[in-house]
């Protein structure tokens, strides 16, 4: 509804003030103070960004996957998992500011990180995918981001192309 509807007693827009105060935007002066726990959320507060949705890799080689990031409008602390069915992931240099809940930063099929958004984004901005020796076919890299209340998932297709091995 609109704040100018006929007969409207009060209309509170919770984005117009700070802290636990709310303003009545009807002009009737029914401003107020919220008591108790205040919970705010949006319909999709966790966003995963990956500029490339698929990669083609030659068998027995690795590829850098770059540009991944996460964002949340409600909180700065996120849990992010990176996983592949075949092969391993490596975040490269030592990662700081995050806690590894599962895996480490080297040669794992699943890595789960928890930390501040900026530290998570540093950790996942560039990482390496390496398929198993001799493997060719399809694999999926799944990125899952959570703020404890909402979850988003992004799947990146990985195609490992066979090469003609010498006899």
Residue with tokens 């930390």: 115
pLDDT in tens, 59-118: 999 999 999 999 988 778 999 999 999 999 998 766 788 988 998 767 899 999 999 999
pTM of the model: 0.71
Going from the C-alpha of 166 to that of each of 39, 68, 124, 159, 163, the distances in angstroms are 62, 36, 36, 22, 9
Nearest to 69 by CA among 60, 78, 61, 57: 78
**Letter string b/e over residues 9-47, b meaning 16 or more CB atoms within 10 A of that residue's CB:** ebbbeeeeeeeeebbbbbeeeeeeeeeeeeeeeeeebbe
149: enclosing H helix or E strand:
none
Measured between alpha carbons, how far is 70 from 74 in angstroms, rounded to an integer? Answer: 12
Measured between alpha carbons, how far is 55 from 150 in angstroms, rounded to an integer? Answer: 28
Residues 110/82, Cβ–Cβ less than 8 Å: yes
pLDDT in tens, 14-59: 554 455 666 666 667 767 776 665 555 444 568 888 888 899 999 9
């Amino acid at each position: 509804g609109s704040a100018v509807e006929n007969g409207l007693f009060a209309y509170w827009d919770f984005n117009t003030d700070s802290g636990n105060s709310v303003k009545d935007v009807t002009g009737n002066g029914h401003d107020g103070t919220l008591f108790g726990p205040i919970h705010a959320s949006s319909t999709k507060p966790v966003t995963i960004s990956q500029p490339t949705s698929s990669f083609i890799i030659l068998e027995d080689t690795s590829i850098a996957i770059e540009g991944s990031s996460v964002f949340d409008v409600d909180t700065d602390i996120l849990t992010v998992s990176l996983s592949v069915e075949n092969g391993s992931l490596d975040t490269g240099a030592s990662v700081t500011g995050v806690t590894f809940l599962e895996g480490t930063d080297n040669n794992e099929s699943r890595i789960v990180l928890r930390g501040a958004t900026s530290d998570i984004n540093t950790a996942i901005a560039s990482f390496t995918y390496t398929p198993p020796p001799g493997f060719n076919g399809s694999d999926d890299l799944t990125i899952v981001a959570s703020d404890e209340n909402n979850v988003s998932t992004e799947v990146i297709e990985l195609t490992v192309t066979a090469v003609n091995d010498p006899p």
